[in-house]
Amino acid sequence: MPPETTTYAKALNVALTALIENDERVFLMGEDVGVYGGAFGVSDGLLERFGEERIRDTPISEDAIVGAGVGAAITGMLPIVEIQFSDFVVNAMDPLINQAAKLHFMYGGRTNVPLVVRAPGGGGTGAAAQHSQSLEAWFAHIPGLKVVLPATVQDVHDLLIASVRDPNPVVFLEHKLLYKTEGPFEPTDVENPVAEIGKSLVVREGSDITIATYSLMTIKTLEAAEQLAGEGVDVEVIDLRTVRPLDIEPVRESVKKTGRLVVAHEAPVPVAVGAEVVAGVVESDALDYLLAPVKRVGAMDVPVPYAKELEAAVIPQVDDVVDAVREVMKS
């Protein structure tokens, strides 16, 4: 039988349910995750099912929430911390960056910090500059953190399981506009994660140009690829899925085949993950296969505006990816 279809948010809910049922060490905590069911409905019904010990509503203090998560993790629990908007992780940078990411190394490997920090990121909802950022490059710069950005319904389920099973702290970023998207879905075993953190996937094969991307931009890029196919351009799309660790080898191999590369992400272009992807290609023998300069697609270098028209202009859209490919193909 073909897999069922469900939403991104529901796939997360299924994963959370299975993880909490399977292991008494797993619990969820954050602002409004209990009675309210989460700001985007991800934890709907979990409080009634598991009770206040396993689904913990917290005060409005990201510093305290992540700090408590670090403490729980180093004392044997497997906490999943939800930050209502990824922008608010800024308030918890000390426990996340100076504690969670460092303790394994500072204690000579004698302790692990199996903490998962879930947070919705990205724009497109009219939530303005303080609720619409893409901060993944900031987190990915920190040794000791893993950074996961699933694009599909199946991946968000499978990679959450892999993240909870990982002994390292993981920042798990879910794009707001993905929660209501639907896709094929099949629950997988929480004891044996089928997805692996740090593995890119070729999600569309092509021969003319490579696009490396992740999160919501994977969906936009696949749409752009279909449009470009009508123009006779065969696009290969690689979903990075995680940006720390970054699996660059599939991108290199793809560039050796296509000779051209575009990197697409929602974050502003300067000092972003795209630059690291490009460096990973040009610092390898794939450089010799490039037939044209590399192009990066990303947001404008400004805070995300509130006005709908301005927001759409700042954040990269399908047409921006199409235009970038056309430009590279002419080179």
- The single-letter DSSP state of residue 2 is P
Sign of the alpha-carbon dihedral angle for 318, 4, 165, 8: positive
Q: Which of 31, 82, 131, 265 is catalytic?
A: 131
The vertex-66 CA angle with 61 and 69, nearest 5°, equals 130
Q: Please, which residues bridge with residue 182 across strands?
A: 7
**Burial of 101 per CB tally in 10 Å (0-12, 13-18, 19+):** buried
CA 294, CA 264: separation in Å to the nearest integer?
11
Q: Is 231 an active-site residue?
A: no
The H or E element containing residue 48 is helix 46-50
Contacts of 287 (CB under 8 A, 6+ apart): 281
CB atoms within 10 A of CB 105: 11
What single-letter DSSP state applies at residue 39?
T
Give residue 246's identity as a one-letter amino acid code: L
Whether 211 contacts 316, CB under 8 Å = no
Instruction: Identify whether 62 is a catalytic site residue.
Output: yes
Out of 31, 62, 82, 311, the active site residue is 62
Q: Which two tokens stand for residue 149?
A: 């950005």
Q: Which residues are catalytic?
A: 62, 131
